[in-house]
Amino acid sequence: MSHLSGSRSPGVHGSASLGGVLGSWGSGVICTILVVGATVIAQTKPARIVSLIPAVTEMLFAIGAGPQVVGVSAFDTFPTEAAARTKVGGLFDPNFEAILTLRPDLAIVYGSQDELIGRLERVHVPMFTYRHGGLADITRTIRDLGARTGHASEATRLADEIDAQLRAVRIRASGDTRPRTLLVFGREEGSMRGLYVSGGMGFLHDMLEAAGGANVMADVKREGLQLSLEQLLSRAPEVVIELRASDAWSRERQAREAAAWKTVGVPAARNGRVRFLLDDSLTIPGPRVGLAVQTIFTAIRQ
| Range of the structural domain that residue 92 is part of | 2-159
Is residue 164 situated within a structural domain? no
182 and 152 in one domain?
no
Q: What is the DSSP letter of 45?
A: P
Q: How many domains is the chain built from?
A: 2
**Model confidence at 5: pLDDT above 90:** no
230 and 93 in one domain?
no
| Chain segment 67-93, per-residue pLDDT in tens | 999 999 999 999 999 999 999 999 899
CATH value at residue 34 = 3.40.50.1980
| pLDDT at res. 254 | 83
Return the percentage of the chain with pLDDT > 90, whole number.
Answer: 74
| pLDDT at res. 17 | 26
Q: How far apart are CA 277 and CA 263, in angstroms?
A: 20
Is 208 within 8 Å of 241 (Cβ atoms)?
A: yes
**Model confidence at 184: pLDDT above 50:** yes
Is 198 within 8 Å of 135 (Cβ atoms)?
A: no
**Model confidence at 27: pLDDT above 60:** no
| pLDDT at res. 2 | 52
Q: Which has the higher per-residue pLDDT, 88 or 2?
A: 88
Is residue 170 situated within a structural domain? no
Angle, helices 203-210 vs 152-174, to 10°: value is: 50
Mean pLDDT (the chain) is 86
**Model confidence at 22: pLDDT above 80:** no
| pLDDT at res. 252 | 83
Q: Is the four-CA dihedral 13, 19, 23, 24 of positive or negative sign?
A: negative
Q: Which has the higher per-residue pLDDT, 25 or 292?
A: 292
Return the percentage of the chain with pLDDT > 70, whole number.
Answer: 85
HEC string of 193-250?
Answer: CCEEEECCCCHHHHHHHHCCCEECCCCCCCCEEEECHHHHHHHCCCEEEEECCCCCCC
191 and 232 in one domain?
yes
**Model confidence at 35: pLDDT above 70:** no
Is residue 265 situated within a structural domain? yes
181 and 148 in one domain?
no
Is residue 165 situated within a structural domain? no
| pLDDT at res. 34 | 29
Rounded average pLDDT over 256-264:
91
16: pLDDT confidence band, cut at 50, 70 and 90?
very low
Helix (H) / strand (E) element for 121: namely helix 114-122
Instruction: Look at residues 99, 131, 159 and tell me which one is the last residue of a structural domain.
Output: 159
| Chain segment 210-248, per-residue pLDDT in tens | 999 999 999 999 999 999 999 999 999 999 999 987 667
**Model confidence at 36: pLDDT above 80:** no
